[in-house]
Amino acid sequence: MADRPNDDANVGTVTSLFRERRQKIRTGMGGPEKIDRLHNRGSYTVRERIDHFLDPDSFVELGTFARSERPEDSGKTPGDGKIGGYGTVDGRTVWVGGDDLTVLRGSSSVVGGKKKSRMLQQAVEHGHPFVFFGETGGARIPDTLGSEGFLKVTPSVDVHRRNRSIPMATAILGNSFGGASFHGAFSDFVVQLRGSCMAVTSPRVVEIATSEKVSFEDLGGVGVHEKITGMIDRTAETEDEAFQMIRDFLSYLPSNAWELPPEHDWPEPAPVDEGIYDLVPMRRTRAYDMRKVLRYLSDDDSIFELKPRFGGSVITALSRLGGKTVGFVASQPMHYAGALTPDSCDKITSFICLCDAFNIPIVFLQDVPGFMVGTKVEHDRLLSRAIMLVEALSICRVPRISLVFRKAFGLAFFAMGGTNMGSEVVATWPSAELSFMDPDVGVNVVHGGRLAEAEDAAAERAALIEQWTEDTDPYGGAGIFGIDEIIDPAETRRWLQSQVRRVRCKPKPWGEPNPLAYWPTCY
């Protein structure tokens, strides 16, 4: 017993030294001058990013004392370029990690890679979302040179085997090459900060390898990814805006594929509401903004849109109807009159996979003139992308509701959840037109040559179009029960809410993926 005071003193000293060392690592990071450099450019450190993203004081770090396995770098690589752990977002557990730009530019290395893989493995095993903040110069050199170094930084099997079991989101907050970009491509949701670059390799490497000189923006800026590649879902102007976008995205989703999304209370809508007549012109050739319609139909007059500047003839958005999360797939007549293009097909396919993985019913709102025609879309693989969309729709298992506003022509009607495509209900407005093709186009195709020679060609053509138009009204389709119901437009909001409440998503048993969970996150 006489030795106990000395033992306690030793323990106290060890504990004090431990706390001092931990504090130095977490606050000092890669050095004060590097932290100042980030702050001077208006950026947060990775630990500050994590704190701003998570609920206050909820972060629990993993791997604080990790460092480079190379002896010459062990003293100057606290955390080894990757920082992470878990905390809460709106009270729900979320794993979060990021590149530490203060340590060798957040480059990817052996120990840092182990930390990242460990975090993802824990998130998947226990069913929690995983969020990553990317800004890295790529693989660390010379660590990864030579066969020994190269074979120590193999791709993580865990990220490949996630199978959409948990939501995964990435924020690209600075120039990111290699690992961070790859992580973004694997994710369900990607937001990119304006002014950053996301690419496989840097402009300097491109120039050395190909002699091509290209800017960061032209190589992988937001203009490239939001319009051309579709690799990002949203663009943020500030880091805080990026954090909020991810929080909003997660608010619509369950924590994992075996749970249902959170529900919210919402009052019953009026049985009849004619406000929609102010938003949708009855003449089918007039354009209107479908975003206004979606906001009008949604519980809180808001939608969370994904890929708003890619495949613009279709809108894909998360929202709530009657307190339940839904995924909207809606024609956008403001772009190409709502015709489906190769990009819009990819956009819908990606969104269907997201909804199917996380038990979110899909609501299709159709006002579609068909698929875009021409050599460009054919050369852009419209055929294969359209069939890929139809295949994904056929495999999808979550409930689907399809409503035609003014028109739906050709295969596009079926590609957006039409008859015999697995939808729980297919309905139309009374003024809707359904046919293999637009009546105006059909008359020209069938009767064009003969009408051109007739003296009263204009009158005869108008009569034929009128007759064809009568044949395309939905009552014929409803008569043979190819359409489930024709609804009053003023009852649209109430009807949709009742349908969403009626259908049931049934999560599969724990560990059993949904059918589209195996579908690639990018293709």
Q: What is the mean pLDDT of residues 62-76?
A: 88
Q: Where are the domains of the chain?
A: 28-252, 274-432+473-518
Mean pLDDT of 308-316: 97
pLDDT for 128 equals 97
Report the pLDDT value the prediction gives residue 443, as an integer from 0 to 100. Answer: 43
Tell me the pLDDT of the chain averaged across its residues.
89
Query: pLDDT for 164-193, tens place per residue?
Result: 999 999 999 999 998 889 999 999 999 999
pLDDT digit string, tens, across residues 374-404: 999 999 999 999 999 999 999 999 999 999 9
Query: What's the pTM?
Result: 0.91
Is-contact 98 184, C-beta < 8 A? Answer: no
pLDDT score of 517 more than 80: yes
Q: What is the pLDDT of residue 442?
A: 52
Q: Following DSSP, what letter does each residue of 96-118 receive, concatenated?
A: EEEE-TTTGGG-B-HHHHHHHHH
Among 72-86, 349-363, 496-510, top mean pLDDT goes to 349-363
Range 412-440 average pLDDT: 90
Question: pLDDT per residue over 212-253, tens digit each?
Answer: 999 999 999 999 999 999 999 999 999 999 999 999 999 999
Residues 6+ apart with CB under 8 A from 50: 59, 83, 84, 85, 87, 96, 98, 133
Q: How confident is the model at residue 445 (pLDDT cuts 50, 70, 90)?
A: low
CATH architecture designation of domain 28-252: Alpha-Beta Complex (3.90)
- Does the fold of domain 274-432+473-518 match that of domain 28-252? yes
Q: What is the CATH number of domain 274-432+473-518?
A: 3.90.226.10
Residue from 223, 172, 176 nearest 193 by CA: 172
The least confident of 413-427, 460-474, 491-505 is 460-474
Q: How far apart are CA 97 and CA 45, in angstroms?
A: 12
Report the amino acid identity of residue 373: V
Task: Indicate if the pLDDT at residue 444 is higher than 50.
Answer: yes
More confident residue, 435 or 485: 485
Does 327 have pLDDT greater than 90?
A: yes
pLDDT for position 127: 95
